[in-house]
Amino acid sequence: MKLGELRPAEGSNPKAWRRGRGHASGNGKTGGRGHKGQGARSGTGGKAGFEGGQMPLYRRLPKRGFTCRNSKEIIGINIHTLNAFEDGAVVDIDALKAAGLVSNPKDGVKILGVGELERKLTVKVNAYSKSAIEKIEAAGGKAEVI
């Protein structure tokens, strides 16, 4: 089979319904829009969320909380997970992704001080906790902020 021989499945691509093409078409005169009213006029879709005067869903539901649009989503990683790397390795966000420790770094990665570090590593991420910096330097490594 070649790309030029591909065809859609039978019935999956129906012919377009041509409206307003006379009485015999079954959709003549008003073209399926009914008589008068908002939906009968051209260029009026109404505003998004309008429910014909009924209280719209977005106003019926309770509103709770607040989302700050300036906040950053930082991914936290505990220091003991860095033991997955070889001694003397350079650990940056790309290395963390390659090792499967971070799938989506979002706005940055922060190393947290939970656990013990048994390797001498050079770590280059966005942020560290104080205890994480102490543990990295105690193991003989370096903590660099990017």
Pair of tokens at residue 40: 């009968």
The single residue listed with the structure tokens 């940055």 is 108
| Cα 10 from Cα 12, distance rounded (Å) | 6
pLDDT digits (tens, 9 = 90+) for 51-101: 888 999 999 999 999 989 999 999 999 999 999 999 999 999 999 999 999
Amino acid at 95: A
Global pTM value: 0.57
Contacts (Cβ under 8 Å, ≥6 apart) of 31: 19, 20
pLDDT digits (tens, 9 = 90+) for 97-136: 999 999 999 899 999 999 999 999 999 999 999 999 999 9
Kind of pairing between the strands at 142-145 and 122-125:
parallel
